[in-house]
Structure 1
């Protein structure tokens, strides 16, 4: 393929088209000595290397699911929760059953993603999943059970809410109490298992939406910005106003704000 008669601008347009993906075109770019063309070639090779690395990373995320399926467990669900640390609002969990073969670029632990990327992936997960469900533990349940057990309760509710019953459940962190389905707790599972990562994204997005809705009722606390976490803005609002009904009464900064405000 001879591209010597094409301008750098014309070559850039070709790169955007299907012709730009052909092996013949790539070879022609590599042979061209023009600085602008060599820069185009460099960027293409960099993007190719990044795509290969991403594909390898995603393949590793399915190691647990693939191993369980190879041992006769199908389907496999992953479950995670969001909201252990905040001073306000519920803890939210999500369970997800992904298809055997699914391509979800950038799928990862929700904490490593931007809010925009989480929203995008949440939509893709819901569209491609065999089943997904959300479970919630309220502020009152967090107070009665403590945050650890409330988180497990939310995860159990999410798993039991799946419309497709899983044969096995991969859990981020700790074993879920009172769950009769076989399960495997994985420390740091949201970065090691595709199903758990998907659950972490849905849980985080759902909880953020809930906190945004609470902002409508209690705008003075700024829940739409900090989502209930102990940011300076939130702590200052607590010190000035005291807690509102969605604050977690057993958490130290909340108890301290009660003493300050009488």
Structure 2
């Protein structure tokens, strides 16, 4: 008879609900064994739910592949709302047999999980492209147009050009067939992967900028208008990263 520790270790490695050992564990009257068995089934249920969600988030890619598309790029951006810093877009082409089941909207993930998934995406992706529009370009073109420019730059950076695009609530002036999805980063693994790449790249940049511009707490707010950021603006004025077409920066510039 296995000790409770051995049961726990066995269940941690168990990969099938048909494992005959499970029957023996169910018949074991020891409380510790029953607790470990309950934990095992809860873990299994959680993995199964995650797998089903993963399959659901692949439905657009599967549909497009039935239409003959093979290089489907998910496109997403990060950084439309901040008062400072660039807008960053990413384009990601995932393989048909992608195994990264935790792919989801980057906003739904912790920083640690995003970084883990970013590494996984780099290993599995067929192609990754990143496009950036500077604060100056955002001021020149407006944030919506700058976002589209960043997305087109991301696509241009792909080593293999896509034959179809999946975008999060955007349309691009390109000849490539494309499908726009509302809240696409939560509906498509390709868009989710792009959102994670863009978020990790931009956050890394803002943390580096924080060393050069220490007054605005960029390493924590990523350029958004938090209390510490606004306090930095009040005490030290604007810096080169600030978007002069965004309030309250615009009013500060007009006042001189």
2:92 aligned residue: 96
The counterpart of 2:207, out of the listed 199, 208, 212, is 212
2:4 aligned residue: 8
Are 2:40 and 1:47 equivalent residues in the alignment? no
The equivalences for 1:154-169 within 5 A come to 154-169=150-165
Q: Is the 8 A contact 1:20 1:26 kept in 2?
A: no
TM-score, normalised with respect to structure 1 = 0.93
1:190 aligned residue: 185
2:109 aligned residue: 113
Are 2:83 and 1:87 equivalent residues in the alignment? yes
Alpha-carbon shift at residue 255 of structure 1 (Å): 2.4
Alpha-carbon shift at residue 13 of structure 1 (Å): 2.9
TM-score, normalised with respect to structure 2 = 0.95
The counterpart of 2:138, out of the listed 127, 136, 142, is 142
CA–CA separation in structure 2 for the residues paired with 1:80 and 1:19: 35
Q: Is the 8 A contact 1:80 1:199 kept in 2?
A: yes
Runs of 4 or more, structure 1, over 6 Å off, are 19-22
Alpha-carbon shift at residue 22 of structure 1 (Å): 6.6
Q: CA RMSD in A?
A: 1.7
2:124 aligned residue: 128
CA–CA separation in structure 2 for the residues paired with 1:57 and 1:202: 20
2:243 aligned residue: 248
Q: Is the 8 A contact 2:74 2:166 kept in 1?
A: yes
- Residue 207 and residue 40 in structure 1: after superposition, are their counterparts in 2 closer, same or farther (change >3 A)? same
The runs of 5 or more residues in structure 2 that have no matched partner are: none
Q: Is the 8 A contact 2:12 2:40 kept in 1?
A: no
Q: Is the 8 A contact 1:80 1:190 kept in 2?
A: yes
SS in 1 for 2:74: strand
SS in 1 for 2:22: helix
CA–CA separation in structure 2 for the residues paired with 1:139 and 1:39: 55
Alpha-carbon shift at residue 237 of structure 1 (Å): 0.9
